[in-house]
Each structure stands twice: as C-alpha cells, then as structure tokens.
Structure 1
Amino acid sequence: MIDVVEIQKILPHRHPFLLVDRITELTQGEFVKGYKNVTIGEPIFQGHFPGHPIYPGVMIIEGMAQAGGILAFKSMDEAGQEETKDKVVYFMSIDKAKFRSPVKPGDTLVYELQVLKHKGAVWVLDGKAFVDGKLVAQAELKAMIVDK
C-alpha cells in the first residue's frame, strides 16, 4: 500500500490537482490499483454544476493517469533504472475514452491500470475507473517519462 504522503514523494501534483488518495495494489511493470474519495469539498464542484454536482470526466482520466504515473515511476525505481526524482510524466495521447456513468460526491473512484506496452520512456496503459464495482470510465493512455 502507498499512502498519500508517499504519493507526494512520487508525483509533483498537489492539492487541488492530486487526484489519487492511495495505491492499494502495484505489480511492477504490469498493474496498479488505487482510489480517490470524491467529496463535495472539491473546488471543481463550485462550477460543475451548482445544485447538481458531477465529477468531470476529464478529472477521472487525469486520476487514472496519475495512478499510471505512480506505476511507471515505481517500476523504474524497482528496475534500478534512472533516477526518478528529476522526471515527470507527460500525456502523449488519450484514446478510446468512454464515460459510462456520472460520479458524484460521496463516491470512491477505484482506478485500475494495466500495462499494454512499455518501451523505453513510453508507457501505454489500459485504464478503467469504477464506483462500487461498476465501470464508470475507461481510456487507453499513452505517456512518456521525461526530464523536468
């Protein structure tokens, strides 16, 4: 398990844009599972939408990407590759994105990402997001680890 304090040592993101609360499973170079608790206190709900709060799909995709970044960095660390503290993950593409059900305050988003391909600094991940075991969003994410 990786808690939020350890996540902040891995990712450069900070509140209000750190979108992963905890990693519960991680298999180096293969799979990561983590979650985010969605609360009404999130600044995004001030405008999306007043009186009808819906967590934006783009934020779900970003949360998946952050979980994938943790997987990539931890995989590099474990493999004894380059130093990761001076690296950052950049999106290259988001493909096949689908949003299946709205996410609301009080939901726990569970992110599951499977490595489809990894070559050098490039990672291709199959990302899925669930609430209460129900698929709410999915996308294929391609990212590259680069120097800051």
Structure 2
Amino acid sequence: MLNQEQIKAIIPHRDPFLLIDEITDYEVGKYAVGKKFVKMDESYFKGHFPGKPVMPGVLIIESLAQVGAVSLLLMPEFQGKIAFFAGIEKAKFRKSVLPGDTLRLECTLTRVRRQFGVGEAKAYVGEELVCEATISFMVSN
C-alpha cells in the first residue's frame, strides 16, 4: 500500500489536484487500485452543486488517470516524467458520487508503447460501478 506522501514521490500532482488518497494494490506497468475518500470540504462542492453536492465526472476520470499514472510512472523508463491525457473514450457515468463516499479506483494499462499508452479504468462506490472509461496518455518530461 502507498500513502499520499509516497504517491507524491511518483506522480507530480499536488493539492488541490491530487485526487487519490492511497494506493491499495499495484503492479508496475500493469495496473493499480486506489482510493479517494470524498469529503464534504472538497473545494468543488461549493459550486457543484450548492444544496446537492455531486463530484464532477471529469474529476472522477482524473482520479482514475492518476491511479493509472502511479503504475506507469513506476516503470524505470518513465520515472520522473509526466503522463498527459491524449484521449478519453467510452466514458460512462452510472451513479452520482457524493460526500462521504469512498471511491475505489482501478486502472489496468492495456497498451504501453514508447511514450503512448491506453488504460481501462473503472470507479466503484462499494460494489457498484459508478464510472468507466478508456483513457489514453502520452508521457513527457
């Protein structure tokens, strides 16, 4: 398991944009599983939406990408680099994510060639699938 300080040593994200709290399982260059503890004091809840706070879907996708980036950026050839989005496909949002929820974030790297790759990502609250997407990325300095 990796805590947030260990995650910061791998990916460049920092508050307020570090959107994962821990990594519970991973295999370098293959997959990672992480958690995001969704708290009411998250800054985006102030405007999304007042009186009915819902985690924005784009931030769920970003959380999934950060989990995948942990596995990717642990690969020796990518250490110290940054993974940027190249695309998002087949994104589906099945249920709202609310304050108090714990997101289980899973990303499996299905293709990594040179500086480009693809990951299959899924987010769950409990056993319920709340989001899924195919994400592609480019790695750069």
TM-score, reference length from structure 2 = 0.96
CA distance in 2, matches of 1:35, 1:11: 15
CA distance in 1, matches of 2:107, 2:58: 16
Check the 8 A contact 2:10/2:73 in 1, yes or no: yes
CA distance in 1, matches of 2:96, 2:56: 8
Matched ranges for 1:58-73 at <5 A: 58-73=58-73
Deviation at 1:17, TM superposition (A): 0.7
- One-letter code aligned to 1:145: V
Matched, 1:44 2:52: no
Q: In structure 2, list runs of 5 or more residues that go unmatched.
A: none
Check the 8 A contact 2:116/2:139 in 1, yes or no: yes
In structure 1, what is the equivalent of residue 32 of structure 2? 32
Deviation at 1:21, TM superposition (A): 0.4
Matched, 1:129 2:123: yes
CA distance in 2, matches of 1:122, 1:59: 22
Matched, 1:141 2:114: no
CA distance in 1, matches of 2:109, 2:8: 22
2:108 to 101, 109, 114: 114
- One-letter code aligned to 2:13: H
Post-superposition, which runs of at least 4 consecutive aligned residues in structure 1 deviate over 4 A?
Answer: none
Partner-residue secondary structure (3-state), 2:9: helix
CA distance in 1, matches of 2:34, 2:116: 21
- One-letter code aligned to 1:9: A
- One-letter code aligned to 2:130: V
Check the 8 A contact 1:72/1:123 in 2, yes or no: no
CA distance in 1, matches of 2:32, 2:105: 8
Task: Among all aligned residue pairs of Structure 1 and Structure 2, give the percentage whose two residues are the same amino acid.
Answer: 41
The total of aligned residue pairs comes to 141
- One-letter code aligned to 2:135: L
CA distance in 2, matches of 1:29, 1:16: 26
CA distance in 2, matches of 1:30, 1:127: 12
In structure 2, what is the equivalent of residue 3 of structure 1? 3
Q: In structure 1, list runs of 5 or more residues that go unmatched.
A: none
The root-mean-square deviation of aligned C-alpha atoms, in Å, is: 0.9
